[in-house]
């Protein structure tokens, strides 16, 4: 973890239990773990626009434990980056618990990725294949709880659903009994990609457990988030691509406002965001507010100075 971005261990926010968010009775608005995208600069931006809880990108626990270089590359944070959940891909309870111990001083909790459907993750025994291994999930949760004894440090899981929903309900009950703080459910099976999200399934799962549940899948506006929250009876909603294209979504904007574009520029430059990441986020954010011709020109820009010149000439506020 890079020294210029590490949160002090004494940070008062570190002592807060993120589960308190779910006791407010209000919609809890969550930024999803997104590989390459939900890093410190982007988390800083969405927090400015009413995001309540942020996840890091998925980090392979084994690499995090074994390599200082991997930790420095994958996990940076700072004083304002709170509350923060570090998401790990893991299939070994001992390694996960060690990763949690290392992350503990700089985060509010860890999440176990049990939902990633990508082939490489499944081949390594990570992600969505874990929904068929409830005993392993239970073992990982127990060992993290034994390693980090602070009850305010959350341990959560993010899952997809089974074709047979009774298996998902059983998994969630077992996870709850083992001490999971909350569960995020992406309302699709492992095989489903662009099919409609099964919000009815999420509702059934919530009715069968007592811990908070977060609904995830295809949420593109604050109105949709509020409707799904009410429809499913969950405690919150998690958004991924919807926030990429509109980081101000949770503040009620239908498309990215120019103030948000310039906020991203300021934050990204201040934190030293690499050009590729800086530019890619802007391409997502400006998707709905630029013409096809503008997109071709903007997407072809190859330096930070060229991007800044273009924005100044065309999108000053």
Please state the φ and ψ torsions of residue 265, each to the nearest 5 degrees: -60, -50
Three-class SS state of 172: helix
Q: What is the 3-state secondary structure (H, E, C) of 29-81?
A: EEECCCCCCCCHHHHHHHHHCCCCEEECCCEEHHHHHHCHHHHHHHCCCCCCC
Question: What does the pLDDT read at residue 241?
Answer: 96
For residues 148 and 100, the answer to whether their CB atoms sit within 8 Å is yes
Question: What does the pLDDT read at residue 1?
Answer: 47
Question: What does the pLDDT read at residue 177?
Answer: 97
Handedness of CA 176, 178, 184, 189 (dihedral sign): negative
Candidates 114, 116, 172, 260; catalytic one: 116
d(CA 37, CA 156): 21
Neighbours of 243 (CB within 10 A): 29
Residue 215: which H helix or E strand, with range?
Answer: strand 213-216
For residues 39 and 56, the answer to whether their CB atoms sit within 8 Å is yes
For residues 77 and 106, the answer to whether their CB atoms sit within 8 Å is yes
d(CA 243, CA 166): 31
For residues 303 and 275, the answer to whether their CB atoms sit within 8 Å is yes
For residues 153 and 109, the answer to whether their CB atoms sit within 8 Å is yes
pTM above 0.85, yes or no: yes
Token reading at 214: 């977060």
For residues 310 and 297, the answer to whether their CB atoms sit within 8 Å is yes
Question: What does the pLDDT read at residue 4?
Answer: 45
Question: What does the pLDDT read at residue 17?
Answer: 80
pLDDT, block means (10 residues), the chain with 317 residues: 47 71 95 95 98 97 94 91 96 97 96 93 92 97 96 96 98 98 97 93 98 97 98 97 98 97 98 96 94 95 97 92
Question: What does the pLDDT read at residue 10?
Answer: 44
Question: What does the pLDDT read at residue 14?
Answer: 59
Given the structure tokens 């120019």, which residue do they identify? 258
Q: Chain centroid to CA 198: how far?
A: 20
Question: What does the pLDDT read at residue 5?
Answer: 53
User: In the annotation, is 116 catalytic?
Assistant: yes
Residue 231: which H helix or E strand, with range?
Answer: helix 222-232
């Amino acid at each position: 973890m890079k020294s210029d971005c590490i949160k002090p261990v004494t940070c008062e926010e570190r002592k807060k239990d993120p589960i308190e968010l779910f006791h407010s009775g209000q919609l809890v608005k969550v930024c999803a773990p997104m590989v390459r995208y939900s890093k410190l600069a982007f988390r800083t931006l969405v927090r400015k626009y009413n995001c309540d809880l942020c996840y890091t990108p998925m980090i392979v626990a084994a690499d995090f434990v074994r390599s200082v270089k991997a930790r420095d590359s994958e996990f940076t944070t700072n004083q304002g980056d709170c509350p923060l959940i570090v998401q790990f891909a893991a299939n070994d309870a001992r390694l996960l618990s060690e990763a949690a111990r290392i992350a503990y001083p700089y985060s509010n909790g860890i999440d176990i990725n049990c939902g990633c459907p990508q082939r490489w993750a499944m081949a390594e025994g990570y992600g969505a294949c874990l929904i068929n291994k409830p005993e392993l999930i239970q073992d990982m949760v127990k060992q993290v709880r034994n390693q980090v004894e602070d009850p305010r440090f959350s341990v959560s899981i993010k899952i997809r659903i089974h074709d047979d929903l009774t298996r998902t309900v059983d998994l969630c009950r077992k996870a709850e009994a083992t001490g999971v703080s909350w569960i995020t459910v992406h309302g699709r099976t492992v095989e489903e990609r662009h099919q409609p999200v099964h919000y009815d399934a999420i509702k059934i799962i919530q009715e069968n457990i007592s811990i908070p549940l977060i609904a995830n899948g295809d949420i593109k506006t604050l109105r949709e988030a509020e409707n799904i929250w009410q429809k499913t009876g969950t405690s919150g909603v998690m958004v991924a691509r919807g926030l990429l294209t509109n980081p101000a979504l949770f503040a009620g904007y239908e498309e990215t406002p120019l103030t948000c574009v310039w906020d991203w520029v300021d934050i990204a430059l201040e934190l030293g965001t690499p050009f590729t990441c800086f530019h890619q986020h802007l391409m997502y954010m400006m998707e709905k507010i630029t013409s096809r011709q503008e997109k071709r020109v903007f997407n072809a820009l190859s330096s930070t100075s060229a991007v800044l010149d273009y924005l100044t000439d065309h999108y000053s506020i």
